[in-house]
Amino acid sequence: MTVKIYKSVLSNQVIESLLDFFNSNTNLHSDTMGMTKINLPWKHVQHILEPILKKYIPVDKNLGDNFYKHSFPYFTHIDSGNNKNSYNVLIPLYLSHKAAKQKFVVFDQYCTDYSGATWLGDIWKPQQDFKLNKKRDFPYKDPTVVGCTDRPISDEMYQILKYDYRNEEQFYGLTGIAYDYTPGNILVFPSNQLHCTGRMDCDYKIGLSLRFEILDKSQIL
């Protein structure tokens, strides 16, 4: 499985117009587990992003996902939405503390259950159900997760991931890469690859997550 990073592809002007859309359309905001979202953003931002994104990936079939603003790191999850050819396009837009070294981690491991999943470990369980993803416990104990090692997460990676409701066991068996969460850059990866937010050293961040169906992987430049 591959992760593609495209650096400095969005101008400040494009980033500003996306942020302006998110911040000014509070009537479209919804709240999921303390995260503010605007769902199904493509219809709103297609005219801004399509000319840019189509240089790198096919964008004919959008599958979701959302604008988000959050102040705590999100759990390890996948977003396939029952589509084996779904790809995530992560578009960082804003960090409340610009000098903060915010990371986004994409693991090497992937999930064979395409319906969607979030791995919460056993420290804390939210009462309410997620709209799409199934709650699961630990990736390394999960038969639908492929590629786990029989070793703890590396110390270096755990320093990036650890947070008050996260413990080391939640990441046992996982390996991967921590990418800088840098506005202007775009990250593309298969939606069934496990991923999560790194420890947050800023008050909040705003980003845009899009998903597209890509049937021919060779079209991802």
Please report, as ranges, the residues that interact with Fe ion according to CB under 5 A.
79
Query: Do residues 66 and 188 touch, judged by C-beta distance below 8 A?
Result: no
DSSP β-bridge partners for residue 88: 189, 211
Q: Which is nearer to Fe ion, 106 or 148 (CB)?
A: 106
Q: Which is nearer to Fe ion, 17 or 62 (CB)?
A: 62
Query: Do residues 87 and 190 touch, judged by C-beta distance below 8 A?
Result: yes
Token pair of 180 as six digits = 């800088």
The two beta strands, 76-78 and 117-119, are: antiparallel
Q: Supply the Cα-derived Rg of the chain in whole angstroms.
A: 17
Q: Which is nearer to Fe ion, 2 or 11 (CB)?
A: 2
Q: Which is nearer to Fe ion, 94 or 107 (CB)?
A: 107
CB of 156 to Fe ion, least distance (A): 22
CB of 79 to Fe ion, least distance (A): 4
CB of 13 to Fe ion, least distance (A): 26
CB of 130 to Fe ion, least distance (A): 12
Alpha carbons within 13 A on the beta-carbon side of 75: 27
CB of 190 to Fe ion, least distance (A): 11
Contacts of residue 198, Cβ cutoff 8 Å, sequence gap at least 6: 73, 102, 103, 104, 105, 160, 161, 178, 181
Q: Which is nearer to Fe ion, 79 or 142 (CB)?
A: 79
CB of 64 to Fe ion, least distance (A): 10
CA distance 49 to 30: 23
Q: Which is nearer to Fe ion, 11 or 177 (CB)?
A: 177
Token pair of 82 as six digits = 């029952």
